[in-house]
Amino acid sequence: MLTIGIDGLRRDAFVAAKTPHLDSLVADGTLCLETRVTSDDVTDSDTVSGPGWTTFLTGVWADRHGVLDNSFKGRDAKAAPHGFALAKQVKPSIRTASFLCWTPLRTHVTTDADIDVVVTPGKNASASTVWKAADQSLAWSAVPVLRNDDLDWAFIYFGSTDETGHSYGFHPSVPPYVAAIENVDRMVGELLEAVQQRETYAEEDWLVLVSTDHGGEGTGHGGGRENPNVFTAPMIVSGAAAMKGQPIQRAEGAAPPATVDLVTVALTHLQVPINPEWKLAGSVDGWLQPASTTAEAISEQ
């Protein structure tokens, strides 16, 4: 299983960008362009990377993980461990890998990565240039691992989209921002090719999850709880076990599709029973096919 995080991915810019590799994932799964990165019930967290990624990686909102902004003050790692840690609590043999270049995530959130790659962006060039280089380093680090390693769950983070948005604007009419999305798509293609080159690929059941921490407006995204260009974003769940193409419909009163669903979807696919004490806020509804139809197809991947 591969989880891909693309920082600051605004939904209409994703639609406008030419992204053949992400499109290939959509063709084999479900895309929701209205995925929430915030909860209406938990209102004290800002629409910035700290709370956004902590929710993405822990499967709970800020009322439990404690991160309200990029200071990470209040981070409660005991109440809200990384998804890798939850998986290993139940199945210690699960093999995990993390590739990221926004180092606060490594400091405050990531634990239990068997392969743990952190690239620190350089300083002697423009922000979008050094973050692009960092992202490419991560992709090249991940390729041999995805191709060869005994691996159950990998997470890779791309930051150049957000940095380019801050420099030039988060909008489909901004060529450098759209180009940054297309450049990430090219690297996604490298990752998917590596997965498909696995010797054991035919016997495995890969699920690929893609989303973001927030969208953007102008050259920022903070204070975006009322702005759907910021608080809704694309999310893709792709692979044999994923629902195919249907718009996500949930029961009246159920929580809308959200990035908080990612950990629940991932653990479900790894056949890790969800412990109610974890108080995960996510749901697999609309993302994964009902268990009865996929039980046979699901292997340890």
Binding residues vs Zn ion (CB under 5 A): 7-8, 49, 162, 213
| Min CB(130)–Zn ion separation in Å | 16
In angstroms, the CA 278 to CA 122 distance is: 38
Assign 103 to helix, strand or coil.
helix
Please, which residue, 183 or 268, has the CB nearer to Zn ion?
183
Please, which residue, 152 or 213, has the CB nearer to Zn ion?
213
| Min CB(68)–Zn ion separation in Å | 14
| Min CB(149)–Zn ion separation in Å | 28
Element of type H or E holding 30: strand 29-36
Residues linked to residue 243 through DSSP beta bridges, in sequence order: none
What contacts 23, CB < 8 A, 6 or more positions away? none
Please, which residue, 30 or 212, has the CB nearer to Zn ion?
212
Please, which residue, 233 or 248, has the CB nearer to Zn ion?
233
Is the distance from CB of 234 to CB of 257 less than 8 angstroms? no
| Min CB(214)–Zn ion separation in Å | 6
**Nearest-CB residue to Zn ion?**
49
| Min CB(49)–Zn ion separation in Å | 3
Please, which residue, 109 or 151, has the CB nearer to Zn ion?
109
Backbone angles phi, psi at 259, to 5 degrees: -65, -20
Q: What is the dihedral of CA 122, 211, 270, 110, to 10 degrees?
A: 30
